[in-house]
Structure 1
Amino acid sequence: MPDPTTGAGFDAPTPEVAYLSAPKMLSEAAALLDLSARRQAATAAAVAAGGTYEDPDERTYLLRRAALADRLSIEYPDVEDFLTDAVRLAHELAAYDRDHGTGQGPIGPDAIEWDPSHRPYVRQEYEVTR
């Protein structure tokens, strides 16, 4: 049976491989806060000017956020909120990639490979884009 936590049974990198060159989790969390603030400021400025904002960093933000949640859920397996976030954010990334055709890995977000979890999909995408 596939194990989304270890990656066993999925044709995707294991967490150890996917996140080998990832920044420390605290550094990544700080970088994500900064990216989020910049995205919100750009959106607010565009709306104030009467327009809309097409966010070029949206997919990067979704991917990095999903990867951090996945890493936290692995590091702290007894914290159920981390697992819940990892599952939810992985699904959000897959949905975004499906809707926008932005997946970059060899297996698309709709593949049966990701049943029962998109967490290994996040690892595939993270490894391909790092």
Structure 2
Amino acid sequence: MSGAPDPVEAYEDAPEHMVEVQALLNLARAHSDTPLPQLREWVLRNGALSDRTALRDPGDSADVLGAEFVADTGERVIRNAVRAGYELMELDRRDGTGLGPLGPDAADWDGEGGTLGYLRQEYQTWRTAQLHDMRAVGKAMHATTAVADDSTLAWQAASRGEPWSRERLLDLARRKVAAYRGAVDYGLDADCVAGQHRAEKELRELEAADGDPVA
């Protein structure tokens, strides 16, 4: 696997685990009409998260959960990562969607560990491109700043006895949800997960009277 990046290099810029889990949940919800094994980003990010999880030191978890449980869980996580690497190769062969320097049919991926090597190459290439899209990253950062500023204005108005209208608060809540989901996708801050959950709770409460579910 001469072409495979080192795992440390491949996942150097990956978001924290809890952020990536939430990003995957958001992705699945946004593409609820698409079978997840056919969604390249899902296969890539889910597989990479499994690979990253398998690479973590299991020592601390073993002390709490028991070595046998941790070992069994570790094996399942590794199998999931390997399977995701294979599925990614199949998708890229079919659709020509590979991003890295070596395609899915390269000899470098032959033999044991080849699918994981391909998965790591593709994740590193994808994540680097995502973070280097400065316009999109900047837009995501600006969105969270904007809703935070508007939240402060809404609180100040309420404290003066001049609360915003329900429609205006609904608009703000929806923008909060969208902004924090975007921040989660880019892994900008671990706090964005809590921010998304708060925004969704606020939106549910505001929409409860009309019975409109959170999109």
Q: TM-score range by the shorter chain?
A: 0.7 to 0.9
SS of aligned partner of 2:31 = helix
Residues 104 and 128, structure 1, Cα contact 8 Å, conserved in 2: yes
Partner of 1:64: 45
Partner of 2:80: 85
> Quick one: distance in 2 between partners of 1:118 and 1:10?
13
Determine which of 6, 21, 37 is the counterpart of 1:14: 6
Partner of 2:120: 123
Quote the sequence identity (%).
Answer: 41
> What stretches of structure 1 of length at least 5 have no aligned partner?
1-8, 44-52
> What stretches of structure 2 of length at least 5 have no aligned partner?
59-70, 128-215
Q: Does 1:113 align with 2:108?
A: yes
Q: Does 1:104 align with 2:99?
A: yes
> Quick one: distance in 2 between partners of 1:111 and 1:127?
17
SS of aligned partner of 1:102 = coil
Partner of 1:74: 55
Normalising to structure 1: TM-score of the pair? 0.76
Q: Deviations over 1:52-88 (max 9, x none)?
A: x7x9x92222211111111112116731101111111
> Quick one: distance in 1 between partners of 2:48 and 2:57?
14
How many residue pairs match? The answer is: 109
Residues 63 and 93, structure 1, Cα contact 8 Å, conserved in 2: yes
Superposed CA RMSD: 2.0
Pick 1 or 2: higher relative contact order, CA cutoff 8 A, min separation 6: 1
Q: Deviations over 1:75-114 (max 9, x none)?
A: 1673110111111111011110111000011110111211
Residues 12 and 120, structure 1, Cα contact 8 Å, conserved in 2: yes
Larger radius of gyration: 2
Partner of 1:28: 20
Instruction: List structure 1 segments (4+ residues) > 3 angstroms apart after TM superposition.
Output: none
Superposed displacement of residue 10, structure 1: 2.9
Higher helix share: 2
Residues 10 and 120, structure 1, Cα contact 8 Å, conserved in 2: no
Normalising to structure 2: TM-score of the pair? 0.47
